[in-house]
Amino acid sequence: MADARRPLMAGNWKMNLNHFEANLLVQKLAASLTEQQLADVEVAVLPPFTDLRTVQTAVDGDKLNIEYGAQDISTHKSGAYTGEIAGFMLEKLGCTYVLAGHSERREYHNEDDATVNAKVKAAYASNLTPILCVGEGLTIREENGHVGHCTAQVVAGLEGLTPEQVKRIVIAYEPVWAIGTGKTATPEDAQEVCGEIRARISEVYGAEVAGAVRVLYGGSVKAANIASIMVKPDVDGALIGGASLDAEEFASIVRYREHVAR
């Protein structure tokens, strides 16, 4: 990983934890990490919408060095869109990040690349940093089409953005076959796709922009495997699912450098 890119460990809580549990988890996570560890590695949590106000209160009240964001954003600015959450609402809650294009949204809600691109743009319109998720299913992987599939998703997700916007984006590579299955792509698999993503961004936007973009790996990340993934030059952090629901495990992932030293 390039020294200029600060590692990011982002916990996607998915549809878990009520607001009481959310408050306790954030407090435990912060208490498990030193100020230096939180300075060295950016830590973010992505709770359900119903927990965001509670997380904001915990972070602001105790001045915790933890970022937070949402799991989804509407493509619409406001209006008669029952059940959707607009970007300005997330901005007012102090969110830093928002996911766009997570595989579960693509699969269960039929979100295509055009919808994902619209959500990326909606995030920027509300001063939020999108975490653009890309990844392949098992069939595509077995057919050796994973690199082309993922880089095409990246290009589609970035369509219409300025180079400055692209510099700020976070891209999360999540092989769909490794999400919540206990299966993990090897560190070499992660590096292959993350490296190709950066190379494709360089082709379109230039080396300077590509060098600034943080590319995360996601898919059954845990303390036991994070160190071997983080030593790869194009992996800048992780999008963590189930392991982020355990404060001790999440903190251990953030302290990945300790595992490297062992």
pLDDT tens string 50-98: 999 999 999 999 999 999 999 999 999 999 999 999 999 999 999 999 9
Active site residues: 102, 174
**Alpha carbon 139 to chain centroid, angstroms:** 24
Distance CA 216, CA 230 (A): 9
pLDDT at residue 260, as a whole number = 64
Over residues 153-208, the pLDDT tens digits come to 999 999 999 999 999 999 999 999 887 676 768 999 999 999 999 999 999 999 99
Q: Where are the beta strands (DSSP E) in 126-213?
A: 129-134, 170-173
The residues that bridge with 42 in the sheet, in sequence order, are 8
Average pLDDT over residues 99-119: 97
181 versus 37: the higher-pLDDT residue is 37
Over residues 15-36, the pLDDT tens digits come to 999 999 999 999 999 999 999 9
Distance CA 64, CA 60 (A): 7
